[in-house]
Structure 1
Amino acid sequence: MIRFLLKNSRWMLSMSMLCGLLSGLGGVGLVAVINTALGGEQNKIAGLGWLFAGLCVLLLTARAASALLLLRLGQNVIFDLRLKLSRQILKASLSNLQQLGPARILASLTDDVTTLAESFRWLPLFCINAAIVVGCLGYLGWLSGALFILVAVTIAIGISSFRLITKQALRGLRTAREYNDDLYGHFKGLTQGIKELKLHRSRRDAFLNECLETSAAHYRSHYTSGMSRHILANNWGNGLFYVLIGVALFLMPDFQHLIREAAARFGLFSMEEVTPQMLRGYCLTILYMISPLTIMMESLPVFERARVALKKVQKLSSESEAQEIAPDPAILPFCEQASCLEMIDITHSYHSDREERSFMLGPVNLTLNPGEIVFLIGGNGSGKTTLALLLAGLYNPEQGKIRLGGCEVTYQNRELYRQQFSAVFSDFYLFDSLLGFQNHELDADARAYLVHLQLDHKVQIDQGVFSTLNLSQGQRKRLALLVAYLEDRPFYLFDEWAADQDPVFKNIFYTEILPALKARGKTVVVITHDDGYFHLADRCLKLNDGRLTEIPVEKQETESCNNADNEWQQTELEMSS
């Protein structure tokens, strides 16, 4: 994680580490001053008072500076990471995002980033207390080489045993993180499938007991196992230091001469006599070190979880690296005026969930002309939505080419090509405001359409923000249609839009709204099963097992259709005048 921070802000991390080191040295200096004052003469204590005050100022100032720098660094990194992931997701291909799945993406954007944020909150404490421990060890070495060796051996034993225990703990935390992805998927099912669960008690019980509870139990088991090992390791480390204090106070005075003789006999080292003042300084330093060491130990599980979360984020980032090429500003082949669209020998394959085989769409040859209403029909799983995603540029064709206005759609201009489409998909998402519009008279235009969509009694709009989205599915689709209508693009795509509408508004959609779009020169593609309105289409295309054919349309002129154009066109004339 330190390497990750160094990539983002090397100088800020270096400054915070320097301040942490100064804080640690100040703390050790305070211990040395206190130890000297306790064993010194009365006339020397006054001089030590000024040194004590200076060290207090140094310690507090350096500690605050280190914490503030690391706080700013951590929040900057979290901010950049969130935006980087969001931008990468927006740039990734739709098919790649669908393979990753929404549960995994949400888990990384929320849980993993939150875990990293928590670790950055602990990082200043860890660095400051690490500096204190290092300074204390230096002071112990200055007091007595023998005591320093005793502490160093104990720390080496503690670190070795701690790493052995935490290695097993990390394995449990990694497994718990995998089950966390499953939990996100179950929570999505819980919130989005609540009506179905309430209506079917056996399904509800099975979902709760076999799915959600099982994943939650696995998460609890592995997380508890990992954290328990960390807790045991922390207490084991603290216990070793209390043993050190006991050895120094009760064994060292009686056995230090035996240790000196053994060291001299084997030529290991020369050991000076350990005085009571040394022992007092030794005990004070160890006691002072226990609290920083405890904080460091408690932060290690947080850093282990952050390490796992960072790997998950980096894995998501690498797996979503199949990004689409950004549009080249020098390539602007498309204009806002309506143009002829051609799909030439387009094919696309994917795995069908219903059958153990790959589904092949195409080859598709299709021409769409300005001012044309085209109905796309076919059974479930016939490839209608896939064709719509290919048509809108959200899927890349495996073979064939798409031409718009005679210009071929390539990786360099696909983003520009997509901007020619407005769409309401069957699984549409409705934002709570009109994002991305530049029209200053947007509210007036939107209110006029709200009246025609019979939503003015439910929804108000102020500065591009809808007053509510708490609507029925049919009303939400009308609001999504309003947004698409305001976008005013050459191509409109509606994926079973009328499926959730009442008979009255379904009739308005087919006999008023679609003819009004046609009168404006828009190319409209409607995925539908409403055979009672097929006669209103200029062409009707049928998909059957990935093969596209055209079926004859029996034209019927209706009075409502003629009156509809006038009503919607009159609204547009009033708004433009």
Structure 2
Amino acid sequence: MNLLRQLANNQLKALSLVVLLSIASALLTLGVIAFIQHKLLNTNNLTSTVMWQFLLLLVALLTIATWAQVALHKLGHQFVYLKRCQLIKQLINTDIEQVDNIGSARLLASLSTDIRNVTVGFVHLPQLIYGIVLSIAAMTYLAFLSFPLFAISLIILSLTGLIGFGLVGKITFHIRQVREYDDRLYKDYQAIIDGRKELALNPSKAKRYFEEEFDPNAQHYRNQITQADTYNGFAANMANTLILALVGMNYFAALGLHWASLEVASAFALVILFMRAPLMTAIASLPTLVTANISIKKLESLSLNKNAEFISQQTKHHPFKTLSLKQVTYQYKAHSADKPFQVGPIDFSVQQGEILFIVGGNGSGKSTFARLLTGLYRPHSGEIILNSETVKAEQWPIYRLQFSAVFSDYYLFHQIADSYGNNIDDDIIDEWLTYLEMIHKVSHQNGHLSDTRYSQGQRKRLALLMAVMEQRGCILLDEWAADQDPRFRKFFYRKLLPRLKERGVTLIAITHDDKYFDTADRVFKMDMGKLNELNISEPQQNHSIFSHIIS
């Protein structure tokens, strides 16, 4: 079972202690039954000393049983906490390309549903361990009382286990299907939330999406979980019926076939009936444990980066002097018979402190080039040369530290931090908030913005603030000025970019603002995955260049 295997691999000593406590609890339980049979049912020995002994035995049972369950709960929840932290660190260290291939809906399903399933599995794990340990200890005690009656009990319980094993296989199949439909439902949730404006404007479209996409997945989920619960309910009722049948068969064998005395048959009945509740609880916990096992496999199937530690930036990282791309290519995976889109081969170079503009039509490869340049995508061929040294595979996380960026699909965090994750001096933040005309809109305290719910243009200004505060050598801006009003757009090109350049910051902007091409040191055009430098030596050529791009 993957759940126990992973727990044993990570905390073997703690798990061994829990198992020993469970064994002690089961033995004490049988000790209580044996004490009742041999002491309390003997009217000649009913003294106050016997009752004190019985009370001490009950206190010991309560202490050990509670200790075992609490220890396993703590162990399980600690494992889930460490697993959740490990997954987040692995996700952060995983290449963007792999994260995109997995999909946000599947990731959210794993980080929420699968982690929750594992947590619930650990909550029910003590019941399973206690039921198994108690059953083994009880069967050993029954074998000591009467081997013929033990043989009958073993046959009936083995038959129960065999049928139950087949039912568990069916339960596992249906729960695995449930988990697959979980992924689809999360995808539907994301589509409905992200497309809420479009659906609100078109109720008929919303109805069609509900009927064609969401409702079939929800129905399949309902059908599969119903089948799993049906098999589990049958397994529990079958086990209950066979255990009661076992009591009757033992009495028949003891009294009708004279295999044992009434006293032994009564002891058998007492032990078996006492086993009934833990066994039923253990069987009832099987679906949650099967679900947790499937969720563990789902988490492993994400193929995230194995490194569960943050990248440490131990020394000060200096801005690059030169950066070059030599015959770099990147090709998307084909999802149909069409030829997959390829960016490159690209030959590109930039010097520290330059302002470069990248222009091109929609779908020309600009955003892919931006991700290649910043190291978020790894080239399929060619090489990236940083300060005359080729960037090797193991150096990609360090290479990315050269860049800050505001992508078109950026996320605005509340934290304001430098390149090392430390807080920035308040005066510096206030200076840039004033410069970005946001000082009267937003406040900050202890390195956190007071709010991020602003217009798209204002949010982009705050995103640029974050990028500047990181104090990296190069800032990449993807269509940053597109959401700014004309006045601030002019300010951005005529004042803001030159100010950053004066500080030695390299600026690479993806833009369509041909009016401001003269701000750039060089302009590159991306067309059908090919990157070419344009001649902007004459300011009057800007309009013709942009017209050529559009055409």
TM-score w.r.t. structure 1 length?
0.87
Alpha-carbon distance, 1:467 to partner: 0.9
- Secondary structure in structure 2 of the residue aligned to 1:336: coil
- Secondary structure in structure 2 of the residue aligned to 1:348: strand
Q: Is 2:386 the partner of 1:404?
A: yes
Map of 1:312 onto structure 2: 298
Matched residues in 1 for 2:254 and 2:64: separation?
Answer: 38
Map of 2:444 onto structure 1: 461
Matched residues in 2 for 1:323 and 1:138: separation?
Answer: 47
Map of 1:371 onto structure 2: 353
Map of 2:117 onto structure 1: 115
Task: Map residues 202-281 of structure 1 onto 2, 5 A cutoff.
Answer: 202-249=204-251, 251-252=252-253, 255-257=256-258, 271=259, 274-281=260-267
1:310-359 Cα distance to aligned partner (Å, 9 max, x none) = 1111222xx234879998999x8x95245122212211111467981112
Note closer, same or farther for the CA distance 1:425–1:505 as it changes in structure 2 (3 Å cut). same
Letter in 2 for 1:61: T
Q: Is 2:474 the partner of 1:491?
A: yes
**Out of 446, 461, 485, which is 1:502 matched to?**
485
Mean Cα deviation higher: 167-176 or 27-36: 27-36
**Out of 308, 314, 329, which is 1:347 matched to?**
329
Mean Cα deviation higher: 478-487 or 27-36: 27-36
Map of 1:561 onto structure 2: none
Alpha-carbon distance, 1:282 to partner: 2.0
Matched residues in 2 for 1:403 and 1:325: separation?
Answer: 27
Note closer, same or farther for the CA distance 1:354–1:460 as it changes in structure 2 (3 Å cut). farther
Note closer, same or farther for the CA distance 1:501–1:371 as it changes in structure 2 (3 Å cut). same
Letter in 2 for 1:126: L
Map of 2:546 onto structure 1: none
Matched residues in 2 for 1:458 and 1:214: separation?
Answer: 46
Alpha-carbon distance, 1:209 to partner: 1.6
Alpha-carbon distance, 1:510 to partner: 1.8
Map of 1:301 onto structure 2: 287
Alpha-carbon distance, 1:536 to partner: 2.2
- Secondary structure in structure 2 of the residue aligned to 1:81: helix
Q: Is 2:549 the partner of 1:548?
A: no
Note closer, same or farther for the CA distance 1:65–1:377 as it changes in structure 2 (3 Å cut). same
Conservation of the 8 A alpha-carbon contact between 1:113 and 1:309: yes
Note closer, same or farther for the CA distance 1:324–1:69 as it changes in structure 2 (3 Å cut). closer
Note closer, same or farther for the CA distance 1:410–1:43 as it changes in structure 2 (3 Å cut). closer
Map of 2:544 onto structure 1: none
Alpha-carbon distance, 1:413 to partner: 2.6
- Secondary structure in structure 1 of the residue aligned to 2:411: coil
- Secondary structure in structure 2 of the residue aligned to 1:381: coil
Letter in 2 for 1:21: I
Matched residues in 1 for 2:517 and 2:430: separation?
Answer: 31
Map of 2:168 onto structure 1: 166
1:537-572 Cα distance to aligned partner (Å, 9 max, x none) = 222111110111222326669xxxxxxxxxxxxxxx
Note closer, same or farther for the CA distance 1:338–1:98 as it changes in structure 2 (3 Å cut). same
Conservation of the 8 A alpha-carbon contact between 1:498 and 1:506: yes
Conservation of the 8 A alpha-carbon contact between 1:425 and 1:494: yes
1:128-147 Cα distance to aligned partner (Å, 9 max, x none) = 23322222222322222222
Letter in 2 for 1:131: V
Matched residues in 2 for 1:70 and 1:215: separation?
Answer: 36
Conservation of the 8 A alpha-carbon contact between 2:416 and 2:424: no
Note closer, same or farther for the CA distance 1:431–1:405 as it changes in structure 2 (3 Å cut). same
Alpha-carbon distance, 1:72 to partner: 2.2
- Secondary structure in structure 2 of the residue aligned to 1:87: helix
Alpha-carbon distance, 1:493 to partner: 0.2
Note closer, same or farther for the CA distance 1:122–1:440 as it changes in structure 2 (3 Å cut). closer
Conservation of the 8 A alpha-carbon contact between 1:327 and 1:414: no
Matched residues in 1 for 2:137 and 2:444: separation?
Answer: 63
TM-score w.r.t. structure 2 length?
0.91
Map of 2:548 onto structure 1: none
Matched residues in 1 for 2:44 and 2:351: separation?
Answer: 101
Mean Cα deviation higher: 509-518 or 416-425: 509-518
Mean Cα deviation higher: 42-51 or 183-192: 42-51
Matched residues in 2 for 1:451 and 1:205: separation?
Answer: 47
Conservation of the 8 A alpha-carbon contact between 1:455 and 1:475: yes
Letter in 2 for 1:415: P
Mean Cα deviation higher: 30-39 or 352-361: 352-361
Note closer, same or farther for the CA distance 1:412–1:169 as it changes in structure 2 (3 Å cut). closer
Map of 1:516 onto structure 2: 499
Q: Is 2:391 the partner of 1:391?
A: no
Matched residues in 1 for 2:322 and 2:352: separation?
Answer: 6
**RMSD over aligned Cα atoms:** 2.5
Q: Is 2:73 the partner of 1:71?
A: yes
Matched residues in 1 for 2:348 and 2:122: separation?
Answer: 55
Mean Cα deviation higher: 545-554 or 321-330: 321-330
Note closer, same or farther for the CA distance 1:355–1:513 as it changes in structure 2 (3 Å cut). farther
**Unmatched 5+ residue regions in structure 2?**
541-551
Matched residues in 1 for 2:394 and 2:312: separation?
Answer: 6
Map of 1:414 onto structure 2: 396
